[in-house]
């Protein structure tokens, strides 16, 4: 292929810029023209293409967000929207596209593949909710941001002898809560994949009190409920001062970690290598510490599994 496009779609994630940089620099390096599409899949419909050069991606590897902007695009779920996008790609002489985004964006990439336009997906979402890859771009940075918040909240909870419920993102996936709960020493972790009853939560907190704990951290995944609802329930059952924090979008920003710059760079290069060989309809990922790629239809159909063993470990060491 001589001309390829790259876009970022859905929720932004730290490391997307590292991936864009790698796509542009590796693509140009092997003699391709690379165009950026602004505002994700919406930009394909709006014809928002811009040529990318070596210097277009200078000074971005350390920046969170995405220089190409991102958007959610309901129109792309329609056949008309998808056809318009492919028409615009072809009119611009583009032969293959790299979509950096989460499971929704991958459905868009899959649709283009199914219409005969070669597409490659790079997993970019803080949620870590794509089954075919062990890690998605942005997850590590988001974990570190959340941990920083947990540490700070723990300082004050401990001083005042209070319990804090910290609600984290992840949509329907509990990975952010699990990893941050484990690494932040949370007393209780609540995830959508393994719901706890209020009795179980009360029992765990009560057990901690019996062992001398005077404060605590509950990490609650947004997909498992709301912090304020849980606070009301706990207040009915226990004599504790409970505070809540919804971390919100702070979790999605910030300079990407070393790990996310590394993943972004390697995912980007691997995606271009496939298009360079004329291969489309794949998604790139990392499994057992090895980069690999798989069929986009198969990958999108895989069901995410939750690491229950790690969850149980976190419960034991958080007591």
| Catalytic annotation, residues | 127
5 strand-pairing partners: 35, 97
Closest separation between CB of residue 33 and ligand F6P, Å?
Answer: 31
* Stretch 29-48 residues interacting with ligand ADP (CB under 6 A): 41
Residue 131 interacting with ligand ADP (CB under 6 A):
no
Residue 293 phi/psi, 5° resolution? Answer: -140, 155
Q: Which residues bind ligand F6P (CB under 6 A)?
A: 11, 102, 125-127, 169-171, 222, 252
Q: Give CA–CA dist 103/89, Å, rounded.
A: 22
Q: Which of 27, 65, 108, 174 forms a contact with ligand ADP (CB under 6 A)? A: 108
Q: Which of 63, 84, 104, 134 forms a contact with ligand ADP (CB under 6 A)? A: 104
Residues 117 and 102 sit within 8 Å (Cβ to Cβ)? no
In sequence order, the 6+-apart residues with CB closer than 8 A to the CB of 96 are: 1, 4, 5, 117, 118, 119, 120, 275, 280
Residue 38 interacts with, from ligand ADP, ligand F6P, none (CB under 5-8 Å by kind) = none
Residue 115 interacting with ligand ADP (CB under 6 A):
no
DSSP letters, 288-317, are TTEEEEEEHHHHHHPPP---HHHHHHHHHH
Closest separation between CB of residue 267 and ligand F6P, Å?
Answer: 17
Burial class (CB in 10 A: 0-12, 13-18, 19+), 312: exposed
Q: Give CA–CA dist 151/161, Å, rounded.
A: 15
DSSP state of 255: P
Closest separation between CB of residue 71 and ligand ADP, Å?
Answer: 7
Closest separation between CB of residue 216 and ligand ADP, Å?
Answer: 32
Residue 9 interacts with, from ligand F6P, ligand ADP, none (CB under 5-8 Å by kind) = ligand ADP
Residue 95 interacts with, from ligand ADP, ligand F6P, none (CB under 5-8 Å by kind) = none
Q: Give CA–CA dist 216/185, Å, rounded.
A: 9
Q: Which of 73, 157, 182, 271 forms a contact with ligand ADP (CB under 6 A)? A: 73
Q: Which of 86, 111, 176, 177 forms a contact with ligand ADP (CB under 6 A)? A: 111
Nearer Cβ to ligand ADP, position 171 or 231? Answer: 171
Residue 107 interacting with ligand ADP (CB under 6 A):
yes
Residues 204 and 187 sit within 8 Å (Cβ to Cβ)? yes
DSSP letters, 8-62, are E-SS--TTHHHHHHHHHHHHHHTT-EEEEETTHHHHHHTT-EEEE-GGGGTT-TT
Residue 119 interacts with, from ligand ADP, ligand F6P, none (CB under 5-8 Å by kind) = none
Sign of CA dihedral 144, 146, 147, 148: positive
Closest separation between CB of residue 136 and ligand ADP, Å?
Answer: 10
Count of residues of this chain found to bind ligand ADP when the rule CB under 6 A is applied: 17
Closest separation between CB of residue 87 and ligand F6P, Å?
Answer: 28
**Residue ranges binding ligand ADP (CB under 6 A):** 9-11, 41, 72-73, 76-77, 101-105, 107-108, 111, 125
């Amino acid at each position: 292929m001589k001309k390829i496009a790259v876009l970022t779609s859905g929720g932004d994630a730290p490391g997307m810029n590292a991936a864009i940089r790698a796509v542009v620099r590796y693509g140009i390096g092997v003699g391709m023209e690379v165009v950026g599409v602004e505002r994700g899949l919406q930009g394909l419909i709006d014809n928002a293409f811009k040529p990318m050069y070596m210097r277009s991606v200078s000074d971005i590897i350390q920046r969170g967000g995405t220089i190409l902007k991102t958007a959610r695009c309901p129109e792309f779920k329609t056949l008309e929207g998808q056809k318009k996008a492919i028409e615009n790609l072809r009119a611009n002489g583009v032969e293959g596209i790299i979509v950096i985004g989460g499971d929704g964006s991958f459905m868009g990439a899959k649709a283009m593949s199914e219409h005969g336009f070669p597409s490659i997906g790079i997993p970019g979402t803080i949620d870590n909710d794509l089954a075919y890859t062990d890690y998605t771009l942005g997850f590590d940075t988001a974990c570190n941001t959340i941990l920083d918040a947990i540490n700070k909240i723990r300082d004050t909870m401990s001083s005042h002898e209070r319990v804090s419920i910290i609600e984290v993102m992840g949509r329907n996936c509990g990975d952010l809560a699990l990893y941050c709960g484990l690494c932040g020493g949370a007393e209780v972790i609540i995830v959508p994949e393994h719901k706890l009853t209020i009795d179980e939560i009360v029992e765990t907190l009560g057990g901690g009190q019996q062992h001398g704990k005077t404060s605590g951290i509950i990490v609650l995944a947004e997909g498992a409920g709301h912090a304020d609802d849980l606070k009301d329930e706990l207040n009915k059952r226990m004599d504790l001062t409970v505070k809540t924090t919804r971390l919100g979008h702070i979790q999605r920003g910030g300079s990407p970690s070393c790990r996310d710059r590394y993943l972004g760079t390697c995912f980007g290069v691997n995606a271009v290598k496939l298009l360079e060989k004329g291969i489309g309809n794949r998604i790139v990922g990392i499994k057992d510490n090895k980069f690999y790629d798989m069929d986009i239809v198969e990958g999108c159909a895989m069901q995410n599994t939750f690491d229950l063993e790690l969850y149980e470990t976190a419960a034991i060491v958080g007591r």
